[in-house]
Amino acid sequence: MRTVRHQVCGIAIGLATVLAPCLMTGTASAQDSAPHRVAVVDVAYIFKNHPGIKVQVANVEGDLKAYDAELKQKREQLQNTAAKLKTLSPGSPEYAQLEEQLASMDSKLRLDMARKRKELADAEAKIYFDNYQQIAAGVKFLANHYKINLVLRYNSEEMNQAQGESVIRGVMKNIVYHDAALDMTPGVMQYLDKVIKTDPAIAGRNGTSQRQ
Protein backbone atom coordinates (compact mmCIF):
# COMPACT_ATOMS: atom_id res chain seq x y z
CA MET A 1 0.00 0.00 0.00
CA ARG A 2 1.49 3.35 -0.98
CA THR A 3 2.16 5.78 1.81
CA VAL A 4 1.14 9.46 1.68
CA ARG A 5 4.82 10.32 1.26
CA HIS A 6 5.04 8.10 -1.82
CA GLN A 7 1.87 9.66 -3.20
CA VAL A 8 3.22 13.14 -2.57
CA CYS A 9 6.49 12.37 -4.29
CA GLY A 10 4.48 11.54 -7.40
CA ILE A 11 3.14 15.08 -7.48
CA ALA A 12 6.46 16.51 -8.61
CA ILE A 13 6.06 15.44 -12.23
CA GLY A 14 2.51 16.76 -12.46
CA LEU A 15 3.43 20.04 -10.81
CA ALA A 16 6.27 20.61 -13.20
CA THR A 17 3.77 21.87 -15.77
CA VAL A 18 2.34 24.27 -13.20
CA LEU A 19 5.41 25.69 -11.51
CA ALA A 20 8.53 24.84 -13.47
CA PRO A 21 7.91 27.17 -16.44
CA CYS A 22 7.14 29.95 -13.98
CA LEU A 23 9.87 29.53 -11.42
CA MET A 24 12.64 28.52 -13.80
CA THR A 25 12.22 31.49 -16.18
CA GLY A 26 15.27 33.65 -16.20
CA THR A 27 16.96 31.86 -13.31
CA ALA A 28 19.89 30.58 -15.38
CA SER A 29 21.18 34.10 -16.02
CA ALA A 30 20.18 35.41 -12.60
CA GLN A 31 21.61 32.70 -10.36
CA ASP A 32 25.08 34.24 -10.17
CA SER A 33 23.84 37.69 -9.17
CA ALA A 34 20.70 36.62 -7.24
CA PRO A 35 21.11 33.13 -5.79
CA HIS A 36 18.01 33.37 -3.63
CA ARG A 37 14.70 32.29 -5.17
CA VAL A 38 11.36 33.55 -3.90
CA ALA A 39 7.74 32.42 -4.37
CA VAL A 40 4.38 33.44 -2.92
CA VAL A 41 1.33 31.50 -1.74
CA ASP A 42 -2.25 32.62 -1.05
CA VAL A 43 -3.16 30.71 2.11
CA ALA A 44 -6.55 32.42 2.49
CA TYR A 45 -7.52 31.39 -1.04
CA ILE A 46 -6.60 27.78 -0.31
CA PHE A 47 -8.69 27.70 2.87
CA LYS A 48 -11.68 29.17 1.06
CA ASN A 49 -11.51 27.12 -2.12
CA HIS A 50 -9.96 23.70 -1.58
CA PRO A 51 -12.80 21.11 -1.76
CA GLY A 52 -11.40 18.96 1.04
CA ILE A 53 -11.23 21.87 3.46
CA LYS A 54 -14.66 23.13 2.39
CA VAL A 55 -16.17 19.73 3.19
CA GLN A 56 -14.66 19.80 6.67
CA VAL A 57 -15.99 23.30 7.32
CA ALA A 58 -19.42 22.32 5.96
CA ASN A 59 -19.54 19.39 8.39
CA VAL A 60 -18.98 21.71 11.36
CA GLU A 61 -21.56 24.16 10.02
CA GLY A 62 -24.00 21.26 9.64
CA ASP A 63 -23.45 20.29 13.27
CA LEU A 64 -24.09 23.90 14.27
CA LYS A 65 -27.36 24.07 12.34
CA ALA A 66 -28.51 20.77 13.84
CA TYR A 67 -27.72 22.01 17.33
CA ASP A 68 -29.51 25.32 16.68
CA ALA A 69 -32.66 23.36 15.81
CA GLU A 70 -32.29 21.25 18.95
CA LEU A 71 -31.64 24.37 21.04
CA LYS A 72 -34.77 26.06 19.69
CA GLN A 73 -36.85 23.06 20.72
CA LYS A 74 -35.39 23.04 24.24
CA ARG A 75 -36.01 26.77 24.64
CA GLU A 76 -39.62 26.29 23.63
CA GLN A 77 -39.96 23.57 26.27
CA LEU A 78 -38.46 25.94 28.82
CA GLN A 79 -40.89 28.69 27.84
CA ASN A 80 -43.85 26.31 28.05
CA THR A 81 -42.79 25.20 31.52
CA ALA A 82 -42.39 28.83 32.62
CA ALA A 83 -45.86 29.65 31.28
CA LYS A 84 -47.32 26.68 33.14
CA LEU A 85 -45.64 27.82 36.35
CA LYS A 86 -47.49 31.12 36.16
CA THR A 87 -50.82 29.29 36.31
CA LEU A 88 -49.98 27.71 39.67
CA SER A 89 -50.32 29.24 43.10
CA PRO A 90 -46.99 30.36 44.58
CA GLY A 91 -46.16 28.34 47.69
CA SER A 92 -48.14 25.29 46.62
CA PRO A 93 -46.36 21.91 46.38
CA GLU A 94 -47.03 21.81 42.64
CA TYR A 95 -45.54 25.28 42.21
CA ALA A 96 -42.41 24.40 44.19
CA GLN A 97 -41.93 21.17 42.26
CA LEU A 98 -42.34 22.81 38.85
CA GLU A 99 -40.18 25.76 39.88
CA GLU A 100 -37.38 23.37 40.81
CA GLN A 101 -37.83 21.52 37.52
CA LEU A 102 -37.68 24.80 35.60
CA ALA A 103 -34.49 25.86 37.35
CA SER A 104 -32.92 22.47 36.59
CA MET A 105 -33.91 22.68 32.92
CA ASP A 106 -32.51 26.20 32.62
CA SER A 107 -29.23 25.25 34.30
CA LYS A 108 -28.80 22.16 32.12
CA LEU A 109 -29.54 24.14 28.97
CA ARG A 110 -26.90 26.74 29.83
CA LEU A 111 -24.31 24.04 30.52
CA ASP A 112 -25.17 22.24 27.28
CA MET A 113 -24.85 25.50 25.33
CA ALA A 114 -21.43 26.27 26.82
CA ARG A 115 -20.24 22.72 26.16
CA LYS A 116 -21.48 22.73 22.55
CA ARG A 117 -19.98 26.15 21.82
CA LYS A 118 -16.59 24.92 23.03
CA GLU A 119 -16.95 21.68 21.08
CA LEU A 120 -17.70 23.51 17.84
CA ALA A 121 -14.99 26.12 18.43
CA ASP A 122 -12.47 23.34 19.06
CA ALA A 123 -13.59 21.51 15.91
CA GLU A 124 -13.20 24.67 13.83
CA ALA A 125 -9.78 25.39 15.34
CA LYS A 126 -8.67 21.83 14.56
CA ILE A 127 -9.69 22.23 10.92
CA TYR A 128 -7.55 25.35 10.55
CA PHE A 129 -4.65 23.91 12.55
CA ASP A 130 -4.51 20.57 10.74
CA ASN A 131 -4.94 22.05 7.27
CA TYR A 132 -2.42 24.81 7.87
CA GLN A 133 0.09 22.10 8.73
CA GLN A 134 -0.77 20.38 5.44
CA ILE A 135 -0.41 23.65 3.53
CA ALA A 136 2.95 24.34 5.18
CA ALA A 137 4.08 20.81 4.31
CA GLY A 138 3.04 21.36 0.69
CA VAL A 139 4.92 24.65 0.54
CA LYS A 140 8.03 23.00 1.99
CA PHE A 141 7.77 20.08 -0.45
CA LEU A 142 7.53 22.37 -3.47
CA ALA A 143 10.18 24.77 -2.18
CA ASN A 144 12.63 21.92 -1.67
CA HIS A 145 11.85 20.43 -5.07
CA TYR A 146 12.28 23.71 -6.96
CA LYS A 147 15.15 25.01 -4.78
CA ILE A 148 13.12 27.98 -3.53
CA ASN A 149 14.70 29.79 -0.57
CA LEU A 150 11.77 31.91 0.62
CA VAL A 151 7.99 31.62 0.32
CA LEU A 152 5.92 34.66 1.30
CA ARG A 153 2.25 34.68 2.15
CA TYR A 154 0.11 37.08 0.15
CA ASN A 155 -3.56 37.85 -0.44
CA SER A 156 -4.89 37.86 -4.00
CA GLU A 157 -8.25 39.36 -3.02
CA GLU A 158 -9.13 42.40 -5.10
CA MET A 159 -10.15 45.57 -3.27
CA ASN A 160 -13.83 46.44 -3.39
CA GLN A 161 -14.22 50.20 -3.12
CA ALA A 162 -17.81 49.80 -1.91
CA GLN A 163 -16.66 47.76 1.11
CA GLY A 164 -14.54 49.58 3.66
CA GLU A 165 -13.09 46.42 5.18
CA SER A 166 -12.01 45.18 1.76
CA VAL A 167 -10.22 48.47 1.08
CA ILE A 168 -8.44 48.31 4.44
CA ARG A 169 -7.30 44.74 3.79
CA GLY A 170 -6.02 45.77 0.37
CA VAL A 171 -4.12 48.78 1.69
CA MET A 172 -2.56 46.66 4.45
CA LYS A 173 -1.25 43.96 2.11
CA ASN A 174 2.39 43.16 2.83
CA ILE A 175 3.15 42.42 -0.82
CA VAL A 176 2.29 45.29 -3.16
CA TYR A 177 3.37 43.54 -6.36
CA HIS A 178 4.63 40.16 -7.48
CA ASP A 179 5.09 38.46 -10.82
CA ALA A 180 2.25 35.97 -11.34
CA ALA A 181 4.88 33.39 -12.27
CA LEU A 182 5.97 33.29 -8.62
CA ASP A 183 2.58 32.09 -7.35
CA MET A 184 2.90 28.66 -5.74
CA THR A 185 -0.82 28.46 -4.84
CA PRO A 186 -1.89 26.12 -7.69
CA GLY A 187 0.86 23.68 -6.83
CA VAL A 188 -0.11 23.63 -3.16
CA MET A 189 -3.74 23.02 -4.14
CA GLN A 190 -2.64 19.98 -6.15
CA TYR A 191 -0.52 18.77 -3.24
CA LEU A 192 -3.55 18.96 -0.94
CA ASP A 193 -5.59 16.94 -3.44
CA LYS A 194 -3.30 14.03 -2.59
CA VAL A 195 -3.17 14.39 1.20
CA ILE A 196 -6.74 15.45 2.02
CA LYS A 197 -9.27 12.71 1.38
CA THR A 198 -12.47 14.03 -0.17
CA ASP A 199 -15.68 12.33 -1.27
CA PRO A 200 -15.73 13.04 -5.05
CA ALA A 201 -19.49 13.66 -5.00
CA ILE A 202 -19.20 16.18 -2.18
CA ALA A 203 -16.16 17.80 -3.75
CA GLY A 204 -18.09 18.25 -6.98
CA ARG A 205 -20.86 20.12 -5.20
CA ASN A 206 -18.39 22.32 -3.36
CA GLY A 207 -16.34 23.34 -6.38
CA THR A 208 -12.93 22.50 -7.75
CA SER A 209 -9.42 22.86 -6.45
CA GLN A 210 -8.23 24.31 -9.75
CA ARG A 211 -7.32 27.98 -9.50
CA GLN A 212 -8.25 30.11 -12.44
Q: Where do the DSSP E strands lie in 11-113?
A: 38-41
Question: In the predicted model, what is the mean pLDDT of the chain?
Answer: 83
User: Binning pLDDT at 50, 70 and 90, where does residue 109 land?
Assistant: very high
**pLDDT tens for residues 42-58?**
999 999 999 999 999 99
Q: Following DSSP, what letter does each residue of 185-212 receive, concatenated? A: HHHHHHHHHHHS---HHHHHHH--S---
Question: What span, in angstroms and rounded, lies between the C-alpha atoms of 98 and 89?
Answer: 11
Mean pLDDT of 178-199: 89
Radius of gyration of the chain (CA): 26
Judge whether 188 and 78 are in contact, CB under 8 Å.
no
Model pLDDT, residue 24: 47
pLDDT-derived band at 169 (thresholds 50, 70, 90) equals confident
pLDDT band for position 161 (cuts 50, 70, 90): confident
Helix %, strand %, coil % of the chain (to 5): 70, 5, 25
pLDDT tens-place string over residues 90-108 = 989 999 999 999 999 999 9
- Cβ 152 vs Cβ 175: under 8 Å: yes
Higher per-residue pLDDT: 101 or 23: 101
Torsion of CA 66, 72, 77, 82, to 10 degrees: 150
Residue 26, pLDDT score: 46
All residues at 6 or more sequence positions from 208 whose CB lies less than 8 Å from its CB, including other chains: 51
pTM here? 0.70
CB 165 within 8 A of CB 186: no
- More confident position, 163 or 41: 41
In tens, the pLDDT along 31-90 reads 455 578 999 999 999 999 999 999 999 999 999 999 999 999 999 999 999 999 999 999
pLDDT of 211 reads 59
Query: Residue 4: what pLDDT?
Result: 42
